[in-house]
Amino acid sequence: MKNLLFASLVSLVVSQHAISSNSIMVIANTQDASIEPTRQEIRNLFMGSVLSYDLKAITLPPENRARVLFNTKVVGLTESRIQSYWAQMRFSGRKTQPKELASEVLVIEYLQTHPGTVSYVSADAEIPNDLTILFQIN
C-alpha cells in the first residue's frame, strides 16, 4: 500500500513537471498591465509586424526549449521556415529580426532594464514583480 501511494505521488510530481516544462509565458516590461494580446497578435509581434502595442520583441536562441515551444505553439512554423522568412525580410529590407539573447536569465534581465520590451520564457521561470505576464501558453 505504501509503495503504491509513493508511486502515485512520484507520478503526479513528474507529470506536473512535464506539463510546466511544456508551457511558456510571454512577459513584458510595460506600464500598461491591461494589455491582453491574442495569440495572433503575439505571433505578429515576433514576426516583425507593427501592432497597436508599442513593444519590441526579444527572442532566445534556436536551440532553447522555450523558443522551440514558442515557434511550435504560437508562430506555427519550424525554425528553418522562420530563418528563411527572416532571410527574405533582411534581403528585401522590409523588416528587422528581433534581438536574440543567449538565455532566459539574460532575457529577464534585459526586459527589466528596457521598458517596452517583450519576450517568452519557460512557465517555471521566476518572473520579477516589475515584469508583466501577458500570455501563457500550455
DSSP code at position 57:
E
Q: What is the pLDDT of residue 12?
A: 40
Residue segments in the chain with a per-residue pLDDT below the cut of 70: 1-21
Q: What is the pLDDT of residue 75?
A: 96
Residue pair 121/28 in contact (Cβ under 8 Å)? The answer is no
Q: Which domains does the chain have, with CATH numbers?
A: 23-137 (3.40.190.10)
Nearest to 26 by CA among 14, 15, 17, 35: 35
Q: What is the pLDDT of residue 8?
A: 43
SS3 28: strand
